[in-house]
Amino acid sequence: TQSRSVALRGRVVTFRASPFDVSPSDSLVIEEDGLVLIADGKISAVGPATTLRDTLPADTDIVDYGDSLISAGFIDTHVHYPQLPVIASWGEQLLEWLERYVFPAEAAFADPVVAKDTAKRFMTELLRSGTTTAAVYCTVHAHSVDAFLAESDRIGTRMIAGKVLMDRNAPDNLRDTVKEGYDDSVRLIGRWHGKGRQLYAVTPRFAITSTPEQLEAAGDLLRHHPGVFMQTHLAENTDEIEAVRHLYPERSSYLDVYDHAGLVGPRSIFGHAIHVGETEFCRCHESGAALAHCPTSNLFLGSGAFRLFDALNPRRPVRVGLGTDVGAGTSLSQLRTMGEAYKVALMTGHRLHAAQALWLATAGAAHSLHLDDTIGTIAPGFEADLCILDPRATPLLAYRTERCESLEELLFVLMTLGDERCVRATWANGARVYDRDGDMFA
């Protein structure tokens, strides 16, 4: 079916520019009755249905989504698949939450069957949420990466994932050593980075659970394997920051711990970055590193409010994408995450426009990952990762969206009231991989 071309009809919504550079209204490209033509996994044409229809190859299947929106697939820049079993765990902030809930859940991944089953469940949930690319933490076990990326490869999504590096301040059964962590990572990079659509991220959990020597080894991995990603956590919680200061008294800041090890550069993704200052924002700007804004997680763990509009200051804009950070995050839905990002922005004195929120979940996230020539936008040449959003998914949504006078208003209602129930279908690499009414295709 890949060689045969297919066209999706609906209300196409994508971006021509960043809504933080131009006015949000000017950034949007809207085709009210649009057609997205797909061939060989890529978008080959986009335009008004009435004119494009006559130019289609004779055997083109047209899938008509009516008044549903056709968006680029969502991109989740920070999430932990092994934490799906402990999403919604009560009563703790970061460090205690890790010990009480997360480490036991990750220890269960010593069993490869647990890894495989959880990877399948997690991928299903991602597709149900309209997410087609994510930067994913696995566990310390190398086979946890195999389980996840094999499933992504089977489905055809573009995923970034890595084995967690952790050589101190963690239970015995979750620690590696500098050498084991390095050697496992080298093998996994060779097996997965650039295999089909899969990409590898060197993944030291955070400064507390790696020795300086392990962080140096992570830096060596990046130097020896140009193009691989790096993901870790940064300045999420005040107790965490105090512990890092104590463990690395010679470093000038939390970010400097990573910088000293050669971990700050393009394709570095730092989760949270709530408690950072101008120096850190400048360093991320000049290095091309990304920050993953995880509002549902930061609210759930009581970590604080990310200063999105400071990070994006046009004098030295930092690359930012949205992350769900499940299991600390409370939903895999990027619509939910956009809605919570709006509330967190208000708490810091800023009004996040719906177009800005959608950009952070699609084209902006792709930009943050240096993948903005490949995914995140609906235009010829881009990979055909799409999600279809139903503005009438619930009775209340139908009632409220009927009253919308613009697509921008509709987007805001969707991000405020919507969640995975709005995702009517998900397409990855030009194939339908999820359909709300017809079940999974993958």
- Is residue 143 at the binding interface for ligand GUN, with CB under 6 A as the rule? no
Would strands 268-272 and 74-80 be described as parallel, antiparallel, or unpaired? unpaired
Gap between the Cα atoms of 421 and 442, Å rounded: 19
Answer for which of 9, 11, 80, 432 binds ligand GUN (CB under 6 A) is: 80
Minimal distance, residue 93 CB to ligand GUN, in Å: 10
- Is residue 161 at the binding interface for ligand GUN, with CB under 6 A as the rule? no
Gap between the Cα atoms of 195 and 327, Å rounded: 27
Instruction: Select from 339, 421, 43, 311 the least CA-distant residue to 29.
Output: 43
Say if CB 327 and CB 101 are below 8 A apart.
Answer: yes
Minimal distance, residue 237 CB to ligand GUN, in Å: 8
| Lookup: tokens for 213 | 């020597």
Beta bridge partners of 320: 291
Classify burial at 172, counting beta carbons within 10 Å of its beta carbon; exposed 0-12, middle 13-18, buried 19 or more: exposed
Segment lying near Zn ion (by CB under 5 A), choices 215-223, 299-307, 325-333, 402-410: 325-333
Other Cβ atoms less than 10 A from the Cβ of 405: the count is 7
Minimal distance, residue 13 CB to ligand GUN, in Å: 30
Residue 189 backbone zone (phi > 0: left; psi -120 to 50: alpha; other: beta): alpha
Q: Which is nearer to Zn ion, 325 or 385 (CB)?
A: 325
Answer for which of 106, 184, 240, 325 binds Zn ion (CB under 5 A) is: 325
Binding mask 317-356 for ligand GUN (x = CB under 6 A): --------x--x----------------------------
Q: Which is nearer to ligand GUN, 237 or 333 (CB)?
A: 237
Answer for which of 94, 161, 358, 388 binds ligand GUN (CB under 6 A) is: 94
Minimal distance, residue 336 CB to ligand GUN, in Å: 16
- Is residue 236 at the binding interface for Zn ion, with CB under 5 A as the rule? no
Say if CB 70 and CB 378 are below 8 A apart.
Answer: yes
Minimal distance, residue 210 CB to ligand GUN, in Å: 11
Minimal distance, residue 245 CB to ligand GUN, in Å: 16
- Is residue 240 at the binding interface for Zn ion, with CB under 5 A as the rule? no
Minimal distance, residue 321 CB to Zn ion, in Å: 13
Say if CB 312 and CB 318 are below 8 A apart.
Answer: yes
Gap between the Cα atoms of 272 and 293, Å rounded: 6
Q: Which is nearer to Zn ion, 135 or 423 (CB)?
A: 135
Gap between the Cα atoms of 32 and 70, Å rounded: 10
Kindly give, in sequence order, each residue whose CB lies less than 8 Å from that of residue 238, ignoring residues fewer than 6 positions away.
Answer: 275, 304
Site for ligand GUN in 200-239 (CB under 6 A): 205-206, 233, 236
Maximum C-alpha span of the chain: 68
Torsion of CA 306, 343, 365, 298, to 10 degrees: 50
Q: Which is nearer to ligand GUN, 218 or 417 (CB)?
A: 218
- Is residue 295 at the binding interface for Zn ion, with CB under 5 A as the rule? no
Kindly give, in sequence order, each residue whose CB lies less than 8 Å from that of residue 39, ignoring residues fewer than 6 positions away.
Answer: 5, 430
Q: CA dist 100 to 93, 236, 307, Å?
A: 10, 18, 29
3-state SS class at 80: strand
Segment lying near ligand GUN (by CB under 6 A), choices 64-72, 94-102, 175-183, 185-193: 94-102
Minimal distance, residue 266 CB to ligand GUN, in Å: 23
Residue 205 binds which of ligand GUN, Zn ion, none (CB < 5-8 A, kind-dependent): ligand GUN
- Is residue 102 at the binding interface for ligand GUN, with CB under 6 A as the rule? yes
Site for Zn ion in 198-217 (CB under 5 A): none
Torsion of CA 163, 166, 170, 171, to 10 degrees: 60
The residue with tokens 């590096």 is: 165
Minimal distance, residue 326 CB to ligand GUN, in Å: 9
Gap between the Cα atoms of 161 and 146, Å rounded: 10
Binding mask 294-313 for ligand GUN (x = CB under 6 A): ---x----------------
- Is residue 167 at the binding interface for ligand GUN, with CB under 6 A as the rule? no
- Is residue 271 at the binding interface for Zn ion, with CB under 5 A as the rule? yes
Residue 151 binds which of Zn ion, ligand GUN, none (CB < 5-8 A, kind-dependent): none
Judged by the rule CB under 5 A, the positions of this chain that interact with Zn ion are: 271, 325
Judged by the rule CB under 6 A, the positions of this chain that interact with ligand GUN are: 80, 94, 98, 102, 205-206, 233, 236, 297, 325, 328
